[in-house]
């Protein structure tokens, strides 16, 4: 029956499911995305479901819900200090693609490089594991970091400083990367060994992101947070793919 109606086509299913979710998101009072963010999230959702099906979609949904949740942690305090995310954490198009562009490329690349499907899926998972680790480390560090220091000099700096890290944030980021990798394993996207690859990749990629924030980001106006996020997730995906290839 489903095949007769065309529901076996993943792209049709992706369009229907994401359109329903978009309609729901438009009427709920608590907005996690701006209007432009919702439109772009719809496109991202169609791409991910169309290429990786429900497992891949569940992973990006997990990333979005947890990432949005940690942004709200200590929000009043962060807003008072002027270090909260803009729009009280509501994501716009630039945030959607800054976080998910590399993951979407990995998913789409499966069509052209089917022989490398497992490695591309590993890169997909690692990109989101990296971004969730980065988001969690930053937001928890800004809310609860007791001592925040610049990664290049290890000198204490105010919370929210670009390139600043804290023990609390770093540990929270590691936990977040483990959680997302475990979800990916639970839905059948990666193996137990690849969980380790994702966590290692996330740690090194977020360290690179902090180094960029502490050195280059203040020198170049074009090096926006969203572009740095793309670079961050790119390194996460590449490191994990390299580990998977060598392992």
DSSP string, 107-141: HHHHHH-GGGHHHHHHHHHHHHHHHHHHHHHHHHH
- Give the residue-averaged pLDDT of 165-186: 96
Q: Give the residue among 5, 229, 49, 235 at the shortest CA–CA distance from 132.
A: 229
Percentage with pLDDT > 90 across the chain: 62
What residue segments make up the domains of the chain, in order of their start?
A: 2-246
Average pLDDT, the chain: 89
Percent of the chain past pLDDT 70, that is, above it, reads: 89
Q: Is the pLDDT of residue 51 over 50?
A: yes
What does the pLDDT read at residue 5? 44
Q: What is the pLDDT of residues 117-175, one digit of tens each?
A: 999 999 999 999 999 999 999 989 888 878 888 898 888 888 778 888 889 999 999 99
* Cα–Cα separations (whole angstroms), residue 185 to 59, 120, 124: 10, 15, 13
pLDDT in tens, 55-90: 999 999 999 999 988 888 866 665 555 555 565 557
pLDDT band at 32 (very low <50, low <70, confident <90, very high): confident
The pLDDT value given to residue 55: 96
pLDDT at 98 (0 to 100): 93
The sign of the CA dihedral 129, 131, 134, 139 is negative
Residue 44 has pLDDT above 50, yes or no: yes
pLDDT at 87: 55
User: Cα Rg for the chain, rounded, in angstroms?
Assistant: 18
pLDDT greater than 50 at residue 1: no
DSSP, collapsed to helix, strand or coil, labels residue 206 as helix
Residue position matching structure tokens 């590399």:
102
> In this predicted structure, what is the pLDDT of residue 2?
43
**How are beta strands 164-166 and 148-150 bridged, if at all?**
antiparallel
Q: What is the DSSP letter of 222?
A: T
Task: List pLDDT tens digits, range 96-121.
Answer: 999 999 999 999 999 999 999 999 99
- Do residues 129 and 181 lie in contact, with contact meaning Cβ atoms separated by under 8 Å? yes
């Amino acid at each position: 029956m489903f095949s007769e109606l065309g529901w076996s086509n993943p792209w049709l299913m992706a369009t229907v499911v994401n359109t329903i979710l978009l309609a729901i998101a438009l009427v709920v009072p608590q907005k996690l995305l701006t209007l432009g963010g919702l439109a772009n999230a719809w496109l991202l959702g169609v791409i991910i479901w169309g290429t990786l099906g429900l497992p891949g979609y569940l992973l990006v949904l997990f990333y979005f819900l947890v990432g949005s949740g940690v942004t709200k942690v200590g929000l009043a305090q962060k807003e008072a200090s002027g270090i909260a995310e803009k729009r009280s954490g509501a994501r716009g198009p630039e945030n959607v693609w800054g976080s998910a562009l590399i993951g979407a490329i990995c998913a789409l690349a499966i069509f052209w490089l089917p022989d490398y499907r497992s490695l591309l899926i590993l890169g997909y998972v690692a990109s989101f594991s990296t971004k969730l680790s980065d988001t969690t480390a930053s937001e928890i560090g800004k809310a609860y970091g007791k001592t925040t220091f610049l990664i290049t000099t290890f000198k204490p700096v105010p919370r929210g400083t670009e390139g600043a890290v804290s023990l609390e944030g770093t540990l929270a980021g590691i936990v977040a990367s483990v959680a997302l990798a475990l979800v990916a394993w639970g839905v059948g996207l990666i193996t137990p060994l690849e969980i380790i690859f994702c966590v290692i990749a996330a740690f090194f990629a977020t360290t690179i992101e902090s180094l960029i924030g502490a050195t280059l980001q203040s020198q170049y106006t074009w090096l926006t947070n969203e572009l740095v996020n793309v670079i961050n997730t790119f390194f996460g995906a590449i490191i994990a793919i390299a580990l998977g290839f060598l392992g």
